[in-house]
Amino acid sequence: MAQFCKEFNERSEKLYNKDTPLGVRLTALSDRTFQFDIRSPPTSFLVLRAAGLTKGTSNPNPEAEAIGHITPEQVYEIARIKQKDDMRWHIPLDGIARSVIGTARSVGVAVREHEEDTEEKVDEEVETDPEKLGY
């Protein structure tokens, strides 16, 4: 177990920020050896980070008001990150982007082209840089 933790930390520190949750596929063999693959962060984490949020909605109703917004460019950047996973390399980028939009809806984040003029306009910038998204 200690060997896995050491190798995981070595491999993941080059790819991701320390506070980024990651998926791992671990294969333990009978001779006490192991193999593991590090996967990209969960889509919901990337969507919330891009929207500048730390927590999703408690009411995942698509008709409810969105708690945050991301742009189509951010959707495609997240889709590119997710496409690098072993299980998604064969899926077209548009299909992964549609999945990202569905996940965004379920966490209360809307996808829109430009910031609409509202009284509650947020002044802070949303992230599009993959490194700042945790990748």
Tens digit of each residue's pLDDT (9 = 90 or more) over 121-133 = 444 445 556 666 6
* Low-confidence winner among 17-21, 28-32, 101-105, 115-119 (lowest mean pLDDT): 115-119
User: Which pLDDT score is estimated for 19?
Assistant: 84
The DSSP annotation for the chain comes to: -HHHHHHHHHHHHTTS-TT---EEEEEE-TTS-EEEEEEPPPHHHHHHHHHT-SS--S---TTSPPSEEE-HHHHHHHHHHHHTSGGGTTS-HHHHHHHHHHHHHHTTEEE-SS----TT---SPPP--TTTTT-
pLDDT at 57 over 80: yes
pLDDT score for 123 = 42
- pTM value? 0.75
Mean pLDDT of the residues in the chain = 83
Over the stretch 67-85, which tens digit does the pLDDT of each residue have? 899 999 999 999 999 998 8
Maximum distance among all Cα pairs of the chain, rounded to whole angstroms:
63
Q: What is the pLDDT of residue 93?
A: 92
pLDDT at 64 over 70: yes
| pLDDT at position 131 | 63
Provide the pLDDT for residue 130.
Answer: 60
Per-residue pLDDT band at 45 (split at 50, 70, 90): very high
